[in-house]
Amino acid sequence: MKILVADKISPKGVAYLRQQPGFEVVEAYGSSPEQVLELVKDVHAIAVRSETKITKEVLAAAPLLKVVGRAGVGVDNVDVDAATERGVVVMNTPTGNTIATAELTFTHILCGARPVAQAAASMQAGRWDRKTLSGVELYQKTLGVVGMGRIGGEVAKRAQAFGMKVVAYDPYLAPARAKAMNVEACTLDELLAQADYITVHMPLTDDTKYMIDEAALAKCKKGIRLFNCARGGIIKEAALIEGLKSGHVAAAGLDVFEDEPLAKDSPLRSMPNVVLTPHLGASTAEAQESVGIEVAEQIADLLNSGAVRNAVNMPSMDAATAKVLGPYLDLGQKLGTLVQQVAPKQIASLRVTYYGKVIDLDANSITRSIQFGFLKRIAGEDVNLVNAPSAFQRYGVQFEVVKSSNACDYTELVKVEATCPNGEVFSAEGTFTGKTNEPRIVGINGREVEVAAEGKLLVLENVDQPGMVGLIGTLLGKDKVNIADMSLSRLTPGGTAYMVVRVDHEPSAAAREEIKNNPAIKQAKFVQL
């Protein structure tokens, strides 16, 4: 089998591939897009970093291709949807840069406390600015870690070694896990108020974009120090700049930016109390060697035995099975993400129950799609269909699968239930209906509904009184939001009712606020499937 190493990875990774019996390895670094199209005609695997683009055209030109391996985390240079459609597994290497990024983060924290970079520049300029370059100590200070995944956890360990108190905000981190890591779990507002230093380690999602903005900074102590080696956009740069100018923010360290490369005229470049690095999180010899070896091992495992690790699209399966399971995987992912969006951020357990014909299928693959759907807005590109189970363990969430023989109202049904620490349950149910076997959402939080399992949904719980449908329709119409379909449900007249509205696009923030503030609306959630 032929493996194309399209971008330069660790020589040890290339050597590992060459050692495999029956493998032919072609190194073609710096190839043009036209050359890549020619090179892939007879390859079974491609290894890339970020330079080579694996487009729909490249995939179409590679009829033997089984796997694309990315030596790194992000797969922006790979058309994952097109790869999935062609049955090509796309894998990344999410763990290889953990230590490198954690160490760079702590380097920034140290430079935020002691102006080492500024002192070095001063010395190189021929000055001796000893009096103007004093700093502060980390010892007995409080570090706020926003996001306690792999990297956040490693930063916390290093802070504790320096005698710092660590408080952590991660809405998906179970209390038992926080205790085991010797960190104090708290709300974001509590972290902002307590911390002397703040470092962010969240994926960039709709929920985390501008998480640290003007309002958040106003809740921080005067003299707060901020650090971001995760993703640009979690800290709002405009707010940070104003905070630095006013003195409310004492120092900052950034390795990532809202737009990269950072503009030459960015005010951040001229601020004396800021240390900037050009996205160097994974730029260590060890990290690059690690991801190079890891991607080589993953490619070899798949080609030799069919084993798949760190796939970002789906587990390996034959074409016949994929044809049967494809609709269930899609429905499962949507049920998972629906429950995640209607439930509170911290849950204790997730339970999946299968009814009817679906219990005879490969429920493991469907279960993974549910886990992936639940986690994809939380963990971003770090989670995939293969590592979703271990991600649940990392967050301390219990997981249960039940194949039920009990009768239900459908030929087959998948039910996903999230239970909160206080015992409250949030759920979604899905099935296939009609001659075209269309996926449908048929239950939300114990209420019978029926709406297509696609697009954007407004999930509303309201007082059961006349005029509610008209009210919501009028508000959405005023906001230029078109309604695709609607489902209504109530238990008893005059009690509470459910309204699920599928819309063509997301209502504006003002419209959502108006809906939530209406006294007849008890709960309103906007869900993107």
Active site includes 248?
Answer: no
DSSP 506: P
Q: Which of 44, 70, 150, 231 is catalytic?
A: 231
Measured distance CA(327)–CA(438) in Å, rounded: 9
Measured distance CA(357)–CA(236) in Å, rounded: 49
Q: Is 90 exposed, middle or buried (0-12, 13-18, 19+ CB in 10 A)?
A: buried
Q: Which of 86, 279, 309, 490 is catalytic?
A: 279
Contact between 298 and 309 under an 8 Å Cβ cutoff? The reply is yes
What strand order describes the sheet that includes 447-452? 398-404, 349-356, 412-419, 425-433, 438-444, 447-452
- Residue whose structure tokens are 């983060």: 105
Instruction: Show the tokens assigned to 106.
Output: 């702590």
Measured distance CA(328)–CA(363) in Å, rounded: 9
Query: Which element (helix H / strand E) includes 319?
Result: helix 319-342
Classify 490 as helix, strand or coil: strand
DSSP letters spanning 190-218: HHHHH-SEEEE-----TTTTTSBSHHHHH
Residues in the chain: 529
Q: Which of 260, 400, 424, 438 is catalytic?
A: 260
Amino acid at 362: D
Active site includes 279?
Answer: yes
Measured distance CA(518)–CA(75) in Å, rounded: 42
Produce one character per residue of 258-282: b if its CB has 16 or more CB atoms within 10 Å, e if not: beeebeeebebeebeebbbbeeebb
Contact between 282 and 118 under an 8 Å Cβ cutoff? The reply is no
Measured distance CA(46)–CA(299) in Å, rounded: 8
Largest CA distance in the chain: 83
Classify 498 as helix, strand or coil: strand
Tell me the HSE value of 357 on the side-chain side, using a 13 A CA sphere.
8
**Torsion-angle region of residue 396: left (phi > 0), alpha (psi -120 to 50) or beta?**
left
277 φ, ψ (degrees, to nearest 5) = -130, 150
> Cα dihedral sign for 265, 280, 95, 52?
positive
Measured distance CA(55)–CA(47) in Å, rounded: 14
Active-site residue set: 231, 260, 279
